Amino acid sequence: MLYEFLFPLADKHIVFNLFQYITFRAGGAMVTALLIAFILGPPILRWLNRQEVGQVIRLDGPHAHLAKAGTPTMGGLIILAAVVIPTVLWARLDNAYLLIALGVTAAMGALGFVDDYLKVVQRESRGLVARYKFVGQFLLGLTLGYVIWRYPLSEYQVNHTMLPFFKEWRLVIWAPFFLPFVAIVVSGSANAVNLTDGLDGLAAGLCSIAGGTFGVFAYLIGRVDTSDYLGLFYLPGVGELSVFCAALAGGALGFLWFNSHPAEVFMGDTGSLALGGALGTVAVLIKGEFLLLIIGAVFVAEALSVILQTSWFKYTRKRYGEGRRVFRMAPLHHHFEQLGWSESKVVVRFWIVGVMAALIALSTLKIR
């Protein structure tokens, strides 16, 4: 919005020329996201407290978490405001990549809001029936796949994607499987972030790291010179996603102000599904679906821990009559809590792993 209004004034004063640069607008979006989170956070917290929308804690979770019962949830509203508003202000609204990313993020946030609302009203920790929630996420992913298949955004084949560490190779996804592939990426990313959101500040910090990293890739892929030099796909216009990613990183950081231990508010599914859906969507749009596995390594580990724990428990119960566990508790962050790590130590160490994963992903730009 600011670009449309202020850049045309560049012929009157050189300062307005800054609005043509993605880096300037991305920085502005990140700062604005932080400010919006700081400004809107307190009134939203007061409103949530008045509505008595307290979190319902799982009885089969760590006993130390029972003290968190009643902490306001639906804090994802802060994140959504801190992502959407700065993006609309600083990005070019005639960009298809940007509009798609905003649409999926808002839709995932709405789905998460319904889930949080049912938790609060019914006072049940499970909220929406899991299969209904997954169907909603999968349908959103299918819709994204259909849109970019029906209306290609670049000269490259829609079902071609990059492979990290390989400069000349690309993966060609079997055409009939492309839509399910996109749906799996988007819904899988949303669920992985949702599972990671179990400790104060954990998911918010990791999403900020991942968002910033994807912003760098979007910027490089959107430039003809850097994409050619680094052997990346050149996708004209995708650089505008850097503004969106910067807002996402800033919004997650701003929310961390209220969500750091001890948390004043939880993001709930409103925030976790929106953030996860946003990361998955950006990965699809920049043709970096496999890059998501590296950048989101902690999210992947959290999701795999739940899958392994559940599968092994069911198998051993059927085979031996008694379910057995791989981890002391899943998701993975609870396993380390059960080993005696404090909540803050688990969070900070997982952040460190997230930074290492981001650096490994950035190293793929040169190790090709």
* pLDDT tens digit sequence for 127-159: 566 778 889 999 999 999 999 999 998 888 899
Local confidence band at 60 (pLDDT 50, 70, 90 cut-offs):
low
User: Model confidence at 122, in pLDDT bands (50, 70, 90)?
Assistant: low
Token look-up 């599914």 returns 269
- pLDDT of 327 > 80? The answer is yes
Tokens of 340: 């005696």
Residues 6+ apart with CB under 8 A from 62: 329, 334, 337, 338
Q: Are 209 and 351 in contact (CB under 8 A)?
A: yes
Looking up tokens 């910027």 gives 219
- Is 194 marked as binding a ligand? yes
pLDDT at 124 over 70: no
Percentage of the chain lying above the pLDDT 90 cut: 70
The distance between the two most distant Cα atoms of the chain, rounded to a whole number of Å, is 79
279, pLDDT greater than 60:
yes
- Region 96-125: mean pLDDT is 86
CA nearest to 137, candidates 204, 76, 65, 186: 186
User: Which of 28-32, 68-72, 287-291 comes out lowest in average pLDDT?
Assistant: 68-72
Rounded to a whole number of angstroms, the CA Rg of the chain reads 21
Report the mean per-residue pLDDT for the chain. Answer: 90
> Domain map of the chain by residue range?
2-300
The better pLDDT of the pair 7, 35 is held by 35
Query: Residue 55: what pLDDT?
Result: 66
Handedness of CA 288, 289, 293, 295 (dihedral sign): positive
**What is the rounded average pLDDT of the residues 265-293?**
95
> Residue 49 annotated as binding?
no
Query: How much is the average pLDDT of 30-46?
Result: 96
Residue in 78, 77, 54 with CA at minimum distance from that of residue 66: 54
Lowest-pLDDT choice from 22-31, 115-124, 256-265, 351-360? 115-124
CB-based contacts of 43, cutoff 8 Å, min separation 6 = none
pLDDT in tens, 212-268: 999 999 999 999 999 999 989 899 999 999 999 999 999 999 999 999 988 999 999
Question: Which is nearest to 152 in space by CA: 256, 84, 236?
Answer: 236
Here the tokens at position 328 are 């002391």
Mean pLDDT confidence for 12-41:
91
Residue 112, number of CB atoms within 10 A of its CB: 31
